[in-house]
Structure 1
């Protein structure tokens, strides 16, 4: 892919974000307006009154940090004040290995912490945490009014220690208590396998720094398992909370040979960027179905939106999360920084996904389908004295029936994936008839 203008932006969802540096100068250069003297004087008076009258002694540092956190929290759910510990956690999350529970979270308008998605094969995933769950209490501490940083600080801890989350889940009559054992989170962002001969599957659980390269390797590995190349590919972005912007661009770049992938717009000049595809197409134009759901956010939506706008494949599942903003890390000193929303991103056709999400081309809700195991019909071969097949075959080709058994298991385990495979097989049959 080619990046036109600023390479310093990063797309984020909650806590997994790309790191951008060097924007401080641009912000300071544009800050030519006078200070709001009256408002600054008012803030100074408030700080002084708190120091003199608050029931407990409080330091200037504590008050200033609380004021900064309050300013950022009042802007949007994704802007935040980063302490040295927060900055270290941020770098760990983008490298693909960090300690914790394995959930992506955001601040809900109710004041509670909402789970965007559990990360595959992590303690939270194995404990049954679901996208959309609201965390109301961490151990014995209510979370209402907490910042994201406060909640993360409580949930992080030594691997092997336990934590209890109280969650509210849609459809449940009472809050649920979920006990989770902390662990080192190692994210394998790419998994791949063959669903059936000639039909491949790639799962991206989050967008990390190496995801683009791993995606191209997965496509090659799947093609190597076929005689004449893949006939169809399912790209699974369900419950993928996002991650590094450049990684999502690289995935789209491996699927298209030309055109705009995504662009960003903001108030400062450095926030405007355009990402354009290279001329190569490692996927060789394979028929494509992309799976999304309400846990697909940010970088996942960039991929789905670009595929949809370029009509490169079909989007199947349910509406995505709807995070269409870009966060930039603005250093304040060696130890502190701001994570500030500086831009919105747009799909190639100019759509903003913010608070809207990606609407699938084919809406399929998750469920299970149990098929009849016994065929109720007699066949000609079952009849006494039936003529032999003139081709001389002792028995009919059972490969299609074997595939049907595999599909039946898939329909029961993962109905959306079953439907994606069905769509791909239909497209493949139409292509062969042309």
Structure 2
């Protein structure tokens, strides 16, 4: 039985509501313009503040272990932000520094983007050529534990901190994949994760492939550079822009990538409560690839900035979007330093495509749905044709060598279908 405790009245609290509120005001002052703060102070929910102060005092007096004021206040701030949405968070000094490192594109870890889905730590996407991608982790995999620590009670930032660490150290994840009844254990070795955001290659003569893994500051410029590099190898008849498993990143980078394929029109706009959160971004005259037929590949791991690019090119009828429905993260986060080495990551606005579609919790629907798969080749490699029959009549024209289907396209059914669509678009354009 729990022993009864004295229940002092609110007048006997160690901290008055006003004094307690004063300790929290610096956060509000950085998040809101001064007139808005004044309005908040004029209409304080006094009863809720008093209840908060009472809870604070009860914990101080009766919790089984002594807890200092700073810890309680930081926990309160974490709670305030974590209950808003999955992407808002209070960042202590270590977390704020970690966020800066990841923004700079280099950190020690396993190369994975995670989020909370129905309260469960879930893979959004593995980053290309990292321990996570090489181990076969996939979007929507649930992470049940990190080493011996269950994830069900961890905050998102706590889970990220556990997965990061010194390169060369090992980490064990317990994974539950959708459609499977029993979890699997994956052992990974941490590496220095350097995130190169763009790479390119020719799939076939004239048909280029651009892979954007995430959106960093120079991603827009890098896309334009890679397009020019491909065109030096061969005139482009079509281009695949691969945004699958791209978790997003810098908003301006997404605008730059879309601008590489557009020479006019709206790319994206944002709407929020404050005037400075309402922005519009439009394409500038001239583009790196103004008329090249374009297919954009997306899947459930394509989020945020990746969805902005796909939505803009889809609404502007500049590209055919192919694959499966995207993740549906259409919110804007601002990083707000607090002056003491700590900070806030706060959702301040929502993204909208040129046609006014909200991405948030909706995602981008592909024009052509193509699910993940691979091409299976028969034992003979192909069907029997006229040329295989004994005694067949020979063509007067010199026989043309049929290009073998590359192993890459066999393994990546969606990419193979994108290439086929580009070829079809070329046939139609020639007619």
Q: Say if 2:255 is the partner of 1:249.
A: yes
Q: CA deviation at 1:380?
A: 9.7
The answer (yes or no) to whether the contact 1:112–1:146 under 8 Å persists in 2 is no
The answer (yes or no) to whether the contact 1:370–1:411 under 8 Å persists in 2 is no
The answer (yes or no) to whether the contact 1:115–1:130 under 8 Å persists in 2 is yes
Change (3 A) 1:38 1:388: closer
The answer (yes or no) to whether the contact 1:256–1:285 under 8 Å persists in 2 is no
Q: Say if 2:136 is the partner of 1:128.
A: yes
Residue 322 of structure 1 corresponds to 328
RMSD of equivalent CA atoms? 1.7
Pick 1 or 2: higher relative contact order, CA cutoff 8 A, min separation 6. 1
d(CA) in 2 for partners of 1:411 and 1:337? 45
Q: What SS does the aligned partner of 2:405 have?
A: helix
Change (3 A) 1:200 1:148: same
d(CA) in 1 for partners of 2:387 and 2:161? 66
Q: CA deviation at 1:379?
A: 3.3
Change (3 A) 1:388 1:64: closer
Q: CA deviation at 1:413?
A: 1.0
Q: Say if 2:365 is the partner of 1:359.
A: yes
Q: Say if 2:90 is the partner of 1:91.
A: no
d(CA) in 1 for partners of 2:342 and 2:388? 78
Q: CA deviation at 1:382?
A: 5.5
The answer (yes or no) to whether the contact 2:31–2:336 under 8 Å persists in 1 is no
d(CA) in 2 for partners of 1:387 and 1:410? 33
Deviates more, 1:165-174 or 1:248-257: 165-174
Residue 284 of structure 2 corresponds to 278
d(CA) in 2 for partners of 1:166 and 1:307? 38
d(CA) in 1 for partners of 2:186 and 2:340? 38
Q: Say if 2:405 is the partner of 1:406.
A: yes
Q: Which of these residues, 27, 37, 41, is aligned with residue 46 of structure 2?
A: 37
1:22-421 aligned at under 5 Å gives the runs 24=30, 26-31=32-37, 32-33=39-40, 34=42, 35-109=44-118, 111-226=119-234, 229-372=235-378, 373-379=381-387, 383=391, 386=393, 389=396, 395-398=398-401, 401-402=402-403, 405-406=404-405, 409-421=407-419
Change (3 A) 1:152 1:381: closer
TM-score normalised by length of structure 2:
0.89
Deviates more, 1:26-35 or 1:171-180: 26-35
d(CA) in 1 for partners of 2:306 and 2:181? 32
TM-score normalised by length of structure 1:
0.88
Change (3 A) 1:267 1:195: same
1:308-327: CA deviation from partner (whole Å, max 9, x where unpaired): 00000100000000001000
d(CA) in 2 for partners of 1:148 and 1:263? 28
Deviates more, 1:121-130 or 1:373-382: 373-382
Change (3 A) 1:63 1:233: same
The answer (yes or no) to whether the contact 2:270–2:279 under 8 Å persists in 1 is yes
Deviates more, 1:89-98 or 1:27-36: 27-36
1:11-53: CA deviation from partner (whole Å, max 9, x where unpaired): xxxxxxxxxxxx9375333221322222111111111110111
Q: Which of these residues, 421, 427, 430, is aligned with residue 429 of structure 1?
A: 427
1:257-293: CA deviation from partner (whole Å, max 9, x where unpaired): 0011000000011110000110111113210000000
Change (3 A) 1:382 1:246: same
Flag structure 1 segments of 5+ consecutive residues without an equivalent: 1-22
d(CA) in 2 for partners of 1:161 and 1:387? 63
Change (3 A) 1:193 1:57: same
d(CA) in 2 for partners of 1:136 and 1:381? 58
| Structure 1 ranges of 4+ moved more than 4 A | none
The answer (yes or no) to whether the contact 1:239–1:292 under 8 Å persists in 2 is yes
The answer (yes or no) to whether the contact 2:206–2:236 under 8 Å persists in 1 is yes
